[in-house]
Homo-oligomer: A and B are copies of this chain.
Amino acid sequence: MKLRELGEDRLIARLVKGLATHRDIVVGPGDDCAVLRLPQRTEYLLFKTDCVVERVHFSPNENPVAVGWKAMMRTLSDFAAMSGCPRYALVTLVTPADRRASWISQLYRGLRRAADRFKVAIVGGETSSTSGPLLVSVAALGTVEKARCVLRSGGKLADILFVTGRLGGSRKARHLKFVPRIEEARWLTENFPIHAMMDLSDGLGADLPRLAKASGLGFEIEESALPRNRGCSVAAAINDGEDYELLFAASPNGARLLEQKWRRKFPRLLLTRIGRLNRKSQIANRKAFHGYVHFQ
- A135 at the B interface (CB under 8 A): yes
List of B residues within 8 angstroms of A81 by Cβ:
32-33
Which A16-67 residues sit within 8 Å CB-CB of chain B?
26-27, 30-39, 41, 43-51, 53, 55-57
Closest B residue to A44 using CB positions: B35
Across the interface, which residues of B come within 8 angstroms of A153, CB to CB? 31
State the CA gap A39–B132 with chains docked (Å).
39
A30-B214 Cα distance, complex, nearest whole Å: 9
Interface residue tally on A, bucketed by range? 35 or more
Residues of B within 8 A of A130 (CB): 53, 55-56, 132-133, 135
A183 within 8 A of B: no
Which chain B residues lie closer than 8 Å to A94 at the CB level? 51, 53, 135
Please name all residues of chain B whose beta carbon is closer than 8 Å to the beta carbon of A37 when the two chains form the complex: 44-45
Q: Measured between alpha carbons, how far is A153 from B27 in the docked complex, in Å?
A: 10
Question: Is B128's CB under 8 angstroms from A51's CB?
Answer: yes
Which B residues touch A84, using CB under 8 A? Answer: 33
Asked if A152 is at the interface (CB within 8 A of a chain B CB), the reply is: yes
**Cβ–Cβ contact A26 & B51, under 8 A:** no
Number of copies: 2
Per-residue B-contact encoding for A54-89, CB less than 8 Å = 1, 0 else: 011100000000000000000000110110100010
CA distance A53 to B130 in the complex (A): 7
Q: Which residues of B contact A56 (CB under 8 A)?
A: 128-131
Contact A57 B128 (CB under 8 A): yes
30 contacts between A and B (CB under 8 A): A7-B296, A8-B294, A30-B214, A32-B79, A32-B152, A33-B47, A33-B78, A33-B81, A34-B47, A35-B144, A35-B151, A36-B44, A38-B39, A41-B41, A45-B141, A47-B124, A47-B141, A48-B90, A49-B124, A49-B125, A49-B126, A50-B92, A56-B128, A56-B131, A57-B128, A97-B296, A130-B135, A131-B132, A131-B133, A137-B137
- Give chain A's interface residues, CB within 8 Å of chain B: 3-4, 6-9, 11, 26-27, 30-39, 41, 43-51, 53, 55-57, 78-79, 81-82, 84, 88, 90, 92, 94, 97, 123-133, 135, 137, 139, 141-142, 144, 149, 151-153, 198-199, 210, 214, 293-296
